[in-house]
Amino acid sequence: MEVSFKILRFDPQRDARAHWEEYEVELEPTDRVLDGLEEIKGRLDGTLALRRSCAHGICGSDAMLINGRNRLACKVLVKNLKQPITIEPMRGFNVLKDLIVDMEPFFAKYRSVQPYLIEKDAPPEKERLQSQAQRERFDDTTKCILCGACTTSCPSFWSNPDYVGPAAIVQAHRFIFDSRDQGKEERLKVLNHGDGVWRCRTVFNCVEACPRGINVTRAIGEIKQALARGKV
């Protein structure tokens, strides 16, 4: 099928500002948006720049705005989209070229929540025990692939770039609710301020944007409750 794309292009080496360009490519209905972008890059315009790797929704490289919504280009089929398919970079980060944005501030916030197991006791010889229920408690937030779709769909983040953002909170949740972790208090402290969890206005954009189906707003809510109660 013939598929038309409208892509917001920006090359700092050439362009003063971003502009739209249109492309038509022949694709299978079951092709991904990413297949379309690769086809454009390979056959029509080799200057198109985007990040991509695994092409099936796991590596988290190719989050972008597709028809106005944050999606992974490799996880949306062209047959399910209205044409022309509009493609823009994620909002809220500096655009470096075309669909490539500066992810460094995103990863800096990720690092700020101490996203690693903090243990104060020496580990046993074999594995630590954890019940299936304890493991289930934080299952949802272990799915995060750090694609940035949630954070860059959040109006609170757009209006306040200092907001730590849903992705970093999801990562904090993954540890705060892990029975093996002993760093909960420090992590909760990092999130207990105006640019922490309290910046969330429960708009639910993050839930809709998450390509991994994580209930992000619920995770944020659980941290708010833990802070309100003073315990996990």
Partner 1 sequence: MAVHEFDGIIIGAGGAGLMAALQASKSAKIAVLSKLYPTRSHTGTAQGGIGAALGNLEEDHWEWHMFDTIKGGDYLVDQDAAEIMCREAVDTVYELEHMGLPFSRTPDGKIAQRPFGGHTREFGKAPVQRSCYAADRTGHMILQTLYQQCIKQGVTFFNEFHVVDLLVQDGVVCGAVAIEIATGELYTFHAKAVLFATGGSGRMYKITSNALTLTGDGMAVVYRRGIPLEDMEFFQFHPTGIYKMGILITEAARGEGGILRNNSGERFMERYAATLKDLAPRDMVSRAIYKEIREGRGIGGKDYVHLDLTHLDSKVIHAKLPDITDFVETYMGIDPVKSPIPIQPTAHYAMGGIPTNSDAEVVIDEKNTAMPGLYAAGECACVSVHGANRLGTNSLVDIIVFGRRGGKALGRFVQQAPLQPLPPDSEKATRDRIERLFESRGSESVARIREKLQAEMMDKASVFRTEGELKKMLDILRGLRQRYSNVCLQDRGRKFNMELLEAFELDHLLELSQVTVTSAMARQESRGAHAREDFPKRDDAKWLKHTLAYRDEELVSLKYKPVSITKFQPQERKY
Does 17 help bind partner 1 (rule: CB under 8 A)?
no
- Our CB check for partner 1 shows the closer of 110 and 157 to be 110
Smallest distance from partner 1 to CB 88, Å = 16
d(CA 59, CA 61): 6
Among 7, 23, 36, 57, binds partner 1 (CB under 8 A): 57
The reply to whether 120 sits near partner 1 by the rule CB under 8 A is: no
Phi-psi label, residue 57: left if phi above 0, alpha if psi -120 to 50, beta otherwise: left
To the nearest whole angstrom, how small is the minimum distance from the Cβ of residue 127 to partner 1? 4
- Work out how close the CB of 13 gets to partner 1 at its nearest, in angstroms, rounded to a whole number: 5
Given 19, 135, 189, 231, the residue binding partner 1 (CB under 8 A): 135
C-alpha–C-alpha distance, residues 111 and 222, integer Å: 21
By C-beta, is 110 or 200 nearer to partner 1?
Answer: 110
The helix-helix angle for 216-229 and 184-191 (nearest 10°) equals 100
Q: How many residues bind partner 1 (CB under 8 A)?
A: 63
Q: Is the dihedral of CA 60, 32, 83, 44 positive or negative?
A: positive
- Judged by beta carbon, residue 200 or residue 209, the one nearer partner 1 is 209
User: Residues 16, 68, 82, 127: which binds partner 1 (CB under 8 A)?
Assistant: 127
Please report the sign of the dihedral spanned by the C-alpha atoms of residue 162, residue 163, residue 166, residue 172: positive
For residue 172, what are the CA distances in angstroms to 114, 144, 167? 7, 11, 9
Query: Is 184 a residue that touches partner 1 (CB under 8 A)?
Result: no
Contact 40, 63 (CB under 8 A): no
Instruction: Please state, in angstroms and rounded to a whole number, the distance separating the CA atoms of residues 143 and 210.
Output: 10
- Which one of 100, 150, 209, 214 is in contact with partner 1 (CB under 8 A)? 100
Stretch that binds partner 1, among 36-44, 81-89, 197-205, 219-227 (CB under 8 A): 36-44
Of the candidate residues 6, 69, 91, 180, the single one contacting partner 1 (CB under 8 A): 180
